[in-house]
């Protein structure tokens, strides 16, 4: 699911998560029209995948309560996968009605974040996903599975790589098609990424993972370089570096898409993403966020 067949050409898959991970952390509600305009501009950049929104409880994330409307109004570009987060069966029903192309489930490697973000233990949350994955596959939709807090948890502190591997193993057993490792706090150093992959690689080749790097400490690009050296060929990023998680206090946004694309290009990797179109999308959403803040 991560473009492995194109590795020989030096292809790296970049998934734009700004509309979901970026906007979920904005306390002022962004209009549906502005979200749709942002996503349409991102579509013009030819991302292989855009994470559009979340079918989570609007009580937990009010910003993304318009996910169905956003999906109904975006212009879908052939060749781009339009995905969404789904926390439970109710969210799955909404996601199917919205005709998502791919479902993203999300678990955590730490109990503190699991409780704060999804209101359940790690095992309870994994159990919720059994039916979600079955419904997705019955509808022939692939499933991305996030594991949050792969290095550190805002509530429990450092997270052991073995704890991450245990959750990865269970998500694979559930039938997840793609594993996305979330460095939720953005505090990792390259050595943390190396320790993480030394353990995860016991059950899944790095080439088959996606890495989701928040950038609180400004080391996300260094961490991406370390992951590339280990064989990782799929990364998430956020236009303008916007975002964070409302349930991970202090965490800043994902690695900025333009910075990631520039780093990958200078290292000789192809992404197929049009940097000029990305700049137009960044300009559109930053204007909206600045206007809202003033
Ligand atoms: P809960 O409160 O334990 O569950 O939430 P509940 O079943 O009691 O539901 C509470 C209310 O929400 C009820 O409404 C439900 O009907 C409603 P009420 O009866 O009170 O009127 N509800 C829903 N409404 C719409 N769609 C739904 C849905 N489900 C319940 N799907 C739940 C459990 C999982 C729903 C909640 O904890 C939740 O929505 N959590 C999501 C939090 C979230 O989105 N966090 C950010 C995304 S994860 C992230 O950012 C990390 C990531 O980027 C990777 C990384 O960086 O590490 C992916
Ligand atoms: Mg995130």
What are the DSSP calls for the chain, one per residue?
---GGGGGGTB-EEEE-IIIIIGGG-SSPPPHHHHHHHHHHHHTTT-SEEEEEE-S-TTT-GGGTTHHHHHHHSPPPTT-EEEEE--SHHHHHHHHHTT-SEEEEEEESSHHHHHHHHSS-HHHHHHHHHHHHHHHHHTT--EEEEEE-SSEETTTEE--HHHHHHHHHHHHHHT-SEEEEEETTS---HHHHHHHHHHHTTTS-GGGEEEEEB-TTS-HHHHHHHHHHHT--EEEEBGGG----TTSTT---BPBHHHHHHHHHHTT-B----HHHHHHHHHHHHHHHHHHH-
- Binding site membership of 117 for ligand 1 (Cβ less than 6 Å): yes
Confidence of residue 293 (pLDDT cuts 50, 70, 90): low
Domain membership flag for residue 208: yes
Please give the distance, rounded to the nearest whole angstrom, from the Cα atom of residue 270 to the centre of ligand 2: 24
* Residue 2 domain-assigned (yes or no): no
Per-residue model confidence (pLDDT) at position 294: 63
Q: Is the pLDDT of residue 112 over 60?
A: yes
How many A from CA of 78 to the centre of ligand 2?
A: 26
> How confident is residue 8, by pLDDT bands cut at 50, 70 and 90?
very low
Q: Is the CB of 62 under 6 A from ligand 1?
A: no
Residue whose CA is at the smallest distance from ligand 1 atom 11: 57
pLDDT at 168: 98
Arithmetic mean of pLDDT, 95-118: 98
pLDDT per residue as tens digits for the range 42-94: 999 999 999 999 999 999 999 999 999 999 999 999 999 999 999 999 999 99
Residue 6 lies in a domain: no
Cα 261 to ligand 1 centre (Å): 32
Share of the chain above pLDDT 70, in %: 96
Q: Which two tokens stand for residue 124?
A: 């309870």
Residue 286 belongs to a domain: yes
Q: Is residue 144 part of a domain?
A: yes
Lowest mean pLDDT among 67-71, 281-285, 287-291: 287-291
- Domain encompassing residue 83: 13-293
Q: What is the CATH number of the domain that holds 27?
A: 3.20.20.70
Q: Which of 25, 26, 52, 57 to mutate to test the pocket of ligand 1 (most atoms within 8 A of CB)?
A: 57
- Indicate which residues carry an active-site annotation: 245
pLDDT band, very low/low/confident/very high, at 202 (cuts 50, 70, 90)? very high
Per-residue pLDDT at 3 exceeds 50: no
For residue 177, being part of any structural domain is answered with yes
What CA–CA distance (Å, rounded) separates 271 from 279?
15
Q: How many domains does the chain divide into?
A: 1
pLDDT at 118 over 90: yes
Distance 52 CA to ligand 2 centre (A): 13
Domain-located, residue 3: no
Asked if residue 155 belongs to a domain, the reply is: yes
Q: Is 113 in the pocket of ligand 1 (CB under 6 A)?
A: no
């Amino acid at each position: 699911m991560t473009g492995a067949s194109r590795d020989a050409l030096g292809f790296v898959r970049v998934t734009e998560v700004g509309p979901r991970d970026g906007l979920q952390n904005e306390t002022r509600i962004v209009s549906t029209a502005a979200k749709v305009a942002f996503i349409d501009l991102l579509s013009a950049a030819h991302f292989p995948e855009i994470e559009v929104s979340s079918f989570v409880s609007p009580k937990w994330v009010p910003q993304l309560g318009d996910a169905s409307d956003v999906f109904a109004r975006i212009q879908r570009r052939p060749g781009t996968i339009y995905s969404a987060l789904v926390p439970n069966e109710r969210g799955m029903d909404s996601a199917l009605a919205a005709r998502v192309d791919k479902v993203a489930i999300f678990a955590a490697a730490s109990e503190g974040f699991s409780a704060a973000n999804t209101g359940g233990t790690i095992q309870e949350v994994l159990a919720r996903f059994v039916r979600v994955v079955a419904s997705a596959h019955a509808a022939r939709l692939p499933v991305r599975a996030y594991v949050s807090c792969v290095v550190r948890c805002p509530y429990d502190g450092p997270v052991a790589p073995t704890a991450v591997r245990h959750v990865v193993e269970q998500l694979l057993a559930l039938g997840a098609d793609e594993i996305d490792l979330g460095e939720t706090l953005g505090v990792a150093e390259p050595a943390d990424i190396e320790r993480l992959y030394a353990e995860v690689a016991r059950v899944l080749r790095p080439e088959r993972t996606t890495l989701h790097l928040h950038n609180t400490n400004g080391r996300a690009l260094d961490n991406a370089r370390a992951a590339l050296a280990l064989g990782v060929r799929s990364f998430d990023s956020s236009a303008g570096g916007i975002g964070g998680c409302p349930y991970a206090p202090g965490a800043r946004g994902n690695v900025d898409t333009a910075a990631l694309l520039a780093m990958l290009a200078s290292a000789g990797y192809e992404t197929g993403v049009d940097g000029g179109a990305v700049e137009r999308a960044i300009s559109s959403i930053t204007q909206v966020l600045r206007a809202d803040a003033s």
